[in-house]
Amino acid sequence: MASFRIRPFREQDSEVVRALFARGILEHAPAGFRHVLRLARVRLALLVLFVGARAGGGSWVLGLGTVGLALVLLWLLVRSLSTDYVRDALGTDLCDIPGTYLRAPDCGFWVAEVGGSVVGMVAAVPSQDVPGALELRRMSVSREQRGRGLARALCREVLGFARARGFGTVVLSTSMVQLAAQRLYEGLGFRRGGASSPSLLGSIVHFQIFHY
pLDDT of residue 60: 86
Torsion of the alpha carbons at 41, 47, 53 and 55, rounded to the nearest 10:
-130
Sign of the dihedral defined by the CA atoms of residues 125, 194, 138, 18, in that order: negative
pTM for the full predicted model: 0.88
Mean pLDDT by 10 residues, the chain (212 residues): 86 96 95 94 93 86 92 94 94 95 94 95 95 96 92 96 96 94 95 90 88 96
CA dist 205 → 27, 44, 75, 84, 178 (Å)? 18, 13, 12, 16, 16
CA gap 47, 70 in Å, rounded: 11
3-state secondary structure 58-92: CCHHHHHHHHHHHHHHHHHHHHHHHHHHHHHHHHC
Cβ neighbour number for residue 205 with a 10 Å cutoff:
21
pLDDT of residue 93: 95
What proportion of the chain, given as a percentage, has pLDDT over 90? 85
pLDDT of residue 2: 58
Q: Class of 4-11+100-211 per CATH?
A: alpha beta
Q: What's the pLDDT tens digit per position in 95-143?
A: 999 999 999 889 999 999 999 999 999 999 999 999 999 999 999 999 9
Contacts of 142 (CB under 8 A, 6+ apart): 20, 23, 24, 119, 120
Q: Which residues pair with 121 in a beta bridge?
A: 111, 140
CA gap 91, 87 in Å, rounded: 6
